[in-house]
Structure 1
Amino acid sequence: MAERVNNFPPLPKLLRLKPCFYHNIEEEIPAPHQQLVRKVYILWMMYSGTLCMNVISCIAWWAGGGSAINFGLSLLWLLLSSPCSYTCWFRPLYKAFRADSSFNFMAFFFVFFLQCVLALIQTIGIPGWGTCGWMATVVFFSYNVGSAIVMLITTLLLTLVTVLMALVLVRVHRLYRGGGGSLERAQEEWSTGVWKSAPLRDTGFNTVAQGPSLPQYPAAVPSYPDDSKW
């Protein structure tokens, strides 16, 4: 098989910057879990889109008499949270299912729990935090109804994303525990350095010479419960 070329994020060829990751759910993720990983990827896109909408809402907030600080912070949330969320919690989940890595599962649980807490704070909408959550939106209805309606759209999106994130966290944790995963396995991977050797575990990309195929997963991959009903 030809060498894999990084394809994410998709960038114009005119730029000198090159994609940082290889992203191919159909090729790298075992078939029973492709649907779940794809849904989490869609959730990441929803969160990024909500942050974009939050910038627009903060502009309306500013135009209606709000502080310009919220607009500046909304841009900061978008520029930092969108790429960091992909790198810090989606990629660990992607690698965890790709190579049955308990270490990456634990990294996902830790970071994604913090992401859920952050999303909840953004949904609450503390004034001066740069997000149009419930507190900021409800209060602003008494100042400018038009701006508050635009802010309400972002508030509802943040609420939806937060609920979905909580459901994903519970779902993945049940799936991992049901497959025999544990903290001890993650500690063992850390102590032996197995978590760093993903290319060695994905031997299908290096040894298969004829035609496309899925990567060869370790023989010890647990049989995770079927998630097709989720």
Structure 2
Amino acid sequence: MSGQNPFEHAEFSQTNPFEDANQIQADVPLHATNKSEVEQEYTSYTQYGDSSFQTSSTAPTPAEDPKLAAKAAELRRREEELAAREREIQAAQAEAERVRTQGKNNFPKLYPLIYMSIPAEIPKAHQSTVRFLYNIWLALLGTLALNFLACMLMLIAGLPNGGADLGVALGYCFTITASSFLLWYRPVYNAFMKEMSMYYYFYFIFNGFHIAFSFYMALGFTSTGSAGLINMISVFNGHHIFAGILCVFSTALWLVQGFGCLFFYRKVHQHYHQQGHTFDQAKAQVTSSAVRSQAVQNAAWSAATSGRV
């Protein structure tokens, strides 16, 4: 027999049957026809990969770059300045809107703190009532001033406890002036302007105290800061005519305060019932106002703390 393998074929003798043709095509480009071209492609590929890796590994990060950190800090500073300017603009716009709708502060005239205008804010049907109450409050200021002068003359006349009356009367000139405006005149003003039950109740409570206080001052007990009836009699018994006359006027003005406030107290109470206001409405309004005030305080606190940060 001849030594030739009958199963041998020329195609199989030149190739390895265990080689993967797809893997060979993936590793070697189709256009590479010789070894030198394959090596050239491989070399260029590895050089490109090495260079890109070295570039990315040696590039500084933004946190390490001082120029970028300085730019970031500058951007933050500008953002804070813009936010502060925006808040100022919003506050100015809110104030301009308030002035447009309400007007500039006009009360008190020497040092305006609030805006108050009966023709602009009070319904026409109730303007006369609110104006009378305002005149009663102005009369209270005159009563306090005259009462102080009368107590001063009582001290000069040598009336017992005249010094105590003068000191208390001077304190009334400041405390009663502010408290009467804030506790009963401003509430009844807001009540007619907004028709809210809670303002009516504030007026009823504190104006009730004021009515009782007016009649108490008209009596004129010693050492109470009042130039009322009892002290007036003592002054006339001491033949101090001028001081006695001032005590008469003081007593009369306190009675005007008491009866005048009592008359309008009844009138406001009638209007309160006609409008259908209730105590439950007043409680609900007080609760909602307290919640709203707390929310405003929390928002203001948050804005202040965020501004500091």
Q: TM-score, normalised by structure 2?
A: 0.59
SS at match of 1:132: coil
- Asked if 2 retains the 8 angstrom alpha-carbon contact of 1:104 and 1:195, the reply is no
Q: Distance in 1 between matches of 2:169 and 2:223?
A: 10
| Alignment partner of 1:174 out of 270, 279, 288 | 270
Q: Kindly tell me: are residues 193 and 149 of structure 1, through their superposed partners in 2, closer, same or farther at Cα, counting changes over 3 Å?
A: closer
Structure 1 residue matching 2:237: 3-state secondary structure = coil
Deviations 1:180-229 (A, max 9, x none): 112121112123339969xxxxxxxxxxxxxxxxxxxxxxxxxxxxxxxx
Q: What residue number does 1:71 align with?
A: 166
- Correspondent of 1:99 among 190, 194, 197: 194
What TM-score, normalized by structure 1, do the two folds share? 0.78
Among all aligned residue pairs of Structure 1 and Structure 2, give the percentage whose two residues are the same amino acid: 25
Consecutive unaligned residues of structure 1, counting only runs of 5 or more, are 12-17, 198-230
What amino acid does structure 1 have at the position aligned with 2:214? A
Residue in structure 1 matching 2:117, options 20, 24, 27: 24
**What residue number does 1:150 align with?**
246
Tell me, yes or no, if the aligned pair for 1:124 and 1:134 is still in contact at 8 Å: yes
Identify the residue that residue 236 of structure 2 maps to in structure 1: 141
Alignment of structure 1 residues 29-68 onto 2, 5 Å: 29-66=122-159, 67-68=162-163
Is the 8 Å Cα contact of residues 219 and 229 (structure 2) preserved in structure 1? yes
Q: Distance in 1 between matches of 2:252 and 2:123?
A: 34
Query: Within the alignment, does 1:114 sit opposite 2:209 as a pair?
Result: yes
Aligned AA (2:271): L
Partner residue, 1:7: 106
Q: Could you report, residue by residue, the CA deviation over 1:111-138 in whole angstroms, capped at 9, with x for unpaired residues?
A: 1111111111111111101111111112
SS at match of 1:10: coil
- Code of the aligned partner of 2:107: F
The answer to which structure, 1 or 2, has the higher relative contact order (CA under 8 A, 6+ apart) is 1
- Checking the alignment, whether the CA contact within 8 Å between 2:146 and 2:246 is kept in structure 1 is no
Shift of residue 51, structure 1, vs aligned partner: 0.5
List per-residue Cα deviations over 1:39-92 (Å, max 9, x = no partner).
Answer: 000000001111011111111111111222211211111111112211111100
The 8 Å contact of residues 190 and 199 in structure 2, kept in 1 or not, is answered as yes
- Report the structure, 1 or 2, having the larger helix content: 2
Contact 1:62 1:68 in 2 (8 A): yes
Given that 1:58 and 1:131 are in contact with CA atoms closer than 8 Å, whether structure 2 keeps it comes out as yes
Give the RMSD, CA atoms, in angstroms. Answer: 1.8
Looking at structure 2, the residues matched to 112 and 172 of structure 1 have their Cα atoms a distance apart, in angstroms, of: 11
Which residue does the alignment assign to 1:190? Answer: 286
Q: Is the 8 A contact 1:101 1:195 kept in 2?
A: no
Distance 2:292 2:228 in 1: 39
Alignment length (residue pairs) = 191
Match of 2:24 in 1: none
Name the structure 2 match of 1:160. 256
Alignment-mate amino acid for residue 64 of structure 1? A
Rg bigger for which structure?
2
Distance 1:195 1:24 in 2: 28
